Structure 1
Amino acid sequence: MTASTRISTPFSADSTAAEVAAGVDLTGRRVIVTGGASGIGIETARTLADSGAQVTLAVRDVAAGERTAKDIVDTTGNQRILVAPLDLADPASVASFVASWDGPLHILVNNAGVMASPETRTPEGWELQFATNHLGHFALTTGLHRALASAGGARIVSVSSSGHLRSPVVFDDIHFRQRAYEPWSAYGQSKTANVLLAVEATRRWADDGITANALMPGGIRTRLQRYVTEEDLTRLRAEAGAASVPWKTPEQGAATSVLVATSPLLDGIGGRYFEDCAEAEPHRSGVRSGVAAYALDPEAAARLWEVSVQTLAG
C-alpha cells in the first residue's frame, strides 16, 4: 500500500465500536486506555475487552475506574480488566504509571482529555489543556516506548478532534503567556498536537514496528463538555454546519478509536488522521471536517517533539 493511498473501510459514522471489532481476536494482547472510566473511553475499553484483550484503565478517579472495570467484566465476561491511577497533568503521576508497567504493550489509546476549560495552569506554569491533552500523553507514550517496541506491531491511538481546525500549535506562545487566553484556541492547539504526535512517533519508531494514528471520534455528549454551556454547544454546532447532524452515541463515538486500534486494514499504516471510520480528506474551507495540513506537517511534528522533551525536562 502506498503512502498516498487513502484508507476507506466498510464502516461509517453510524457504525458502533462492536461492529468495527467484530471478528477481531485480541487474546493475549495488552491495552491501556487513558480516561477509560468516562465517555467514549468506557466503550473503547469495553469493546477491546470483549475482543479478548487485557485492558488497563488509566484514570484520575480510581473509584470510578473500579466501577467501570466491574461493569466491563460483567458485560464481557473478561476478568482481565485492571485499574491504575494516572493524572496526565502531573508529571510525577505519569512517571509513576510508566515505572509500574512491566512487559509488552500492544495498544495504547491516548483517549483522556479536557475541553475548553477556564484558564488554568499546572504547578509548572503550563496551560492545562496542553499539559493534559498533549504533554501528559507525550510523556506517557515516550515513557512506554520500550514496552511498545517489545510487543511487535504495537499501535498508538491518539484521540484528537475536529477542534484541531481551530488552531495550529502556536510555538511562539504555547502556554498563553503573551496572548490573551482563549479556551477554544487552547483546545484546538492541544488537539493539533495529538495529531502531530502520531506523525512523529510513526516516523521515529517505524523500525520498532510501532505505528500511531490520530482520529476525530465525532460529536458525543460526555463529561468532556463539562465546561461548555448548552448555548455554546448549540452555537459551535451551528458554526460547524453540524446543527442538523445527530449526536453519536458513545458506542458510535468509540468506533473510530477501535478501528484505529484493531483494524487489519491499518497494519503498518501510521501518521494519519481518521474520522467516521475512514481516513479523513484534507480540510476544505467552510467545513468543520477533514484534517488541516498543519496537523500533518512533518516539520511541525518534529519541532513539537523536541519542544515537548525540553518542556518536560524543565
Structure 2
Amino acid sequence: MTLAEAGSPSEAPAAPAVSGIGTTRIKAAIAVVLIVAFAALPLIDSDQFTISLGTTLLITGIATTSLHLIIRTGHVSLAHAAFMGLGAYASVIAVVSYRLPYPVAILLAFLAPAAVALVVGPLLLRLSGKYFVLVTFLLGEIIRLVFVSWQSFTGGSNGIFGIPVPYAFLESPIAFFYFALGFALVCIGFVARLLQSEIGRSIDAIREDPRLAECSGIPVLRVKVTMFVIACGLAGISGALFGSFVRYIDPTSFSIIQSLNFVVMNIVGGMHQLIGPIVGTLFFVILPEFLRGYVELQRVFFGVSLILVMAFLPGGIIELVARLRRLLGRGREASA
C-alpha cells in the first residue's frame, strides 16, 4: 500500500470514536491551554533556542493547519511547501527588491499562491486519490524548478540572503515569537471558524461522499477550489514569516520533503479534527530535539511512528484521548 492510498482521507477508515472528543468544552479547553502555554513560554524559559523552537512551531503550525483544509475535502496535496515558497519569495522580493512595506508584502504572500491555486485548482481538483497526489507532486517540483532556474529574480540555488526583519523591534527573538504567535492565532482561528461554519459541514460531506454531496445541492468543485485557494494563501503567509524569521530562503526549503512532512504531521496527529495537525506539528518539531544526538535514527523513528499510528490509531494521536475517555466511562459504569 502506498502512502497516497493509505493517507487519503477519502479512503482511510473512519474514526467515529475520535469525534467523541469534539465537544465544544474540550476543544475550547485545549485551545486555551495551548494559547496560554505559548504566551507564557518566554516567561518560563527565555533561552534563545527555546524561543526559536517555539517560533518554528507557530510558523509550521500555520502551514499544517492550512493543509488540513485541503485534506478535509478528501485530497492529499504534495505541493503545499511549493505554495509556501511562492508566498515566501513574493514577500521577500517585495521587501528586498521593491522596498514595499511589510503589510503589502504579507498581502502579496497570500495573493501569489492563492492566484496560482485559483488557476490550477479547477483542473487538479477534478482528480482524486493517487492521481491528485501524483499531479500535485509534479506541480510542486515544477514550482521548485522555477525557483532554481529564475536566478535573476529568485537568486537560483543560492537563494536570497540578508532578508530584513519586518520592523526593527522584531530583532529580538522574543518579540518575533509574539509576532508569529499573533499570526498563528489569526490564521488557525480563521481555519477553525471556517470548519465550524456551514462551509465546514459541506467539506466534511464532500469528503465522505462527493456524489451524494452533489446530489444534496452542494457545489462540490466550487467548495473544493475555495478551500484549496484559501489553504494555499495561508501557506504563503507561513512562508513569508519563515523568510523573515530565518533571514534566508532557497528552493530546498520548499521541496517535496517538506510537503511530505506536512502530510505526515496531519496523518499522525489526526485528519478528522483540527487539533490533529496541531498535535502532529508539536510531535514532529519538538521530538527531533530529543533525538539530536541520534540524527541517523530520526528518519527511522519517524517512519516507525507513522506505521504504528496508521496501523493502530487510524484517527491519529488524538484518538488516544477518545479511547481513554471510553475506558474511564467503562470504569465508572463498572464501579457503579
TM-score, structure 1 as length reference: 0.29
Higher helix share: 2
Task: Identify which of structures 1 and 2 has the higher relative contact order when contacts are C-alpha pairs closer than 8 Å and 6+ apart.
Answer: 2
Between Structure 1 and Structure 2, whose CA radius of gyration is higher?
2
TM-score, structure 2 as length reference: 0.28
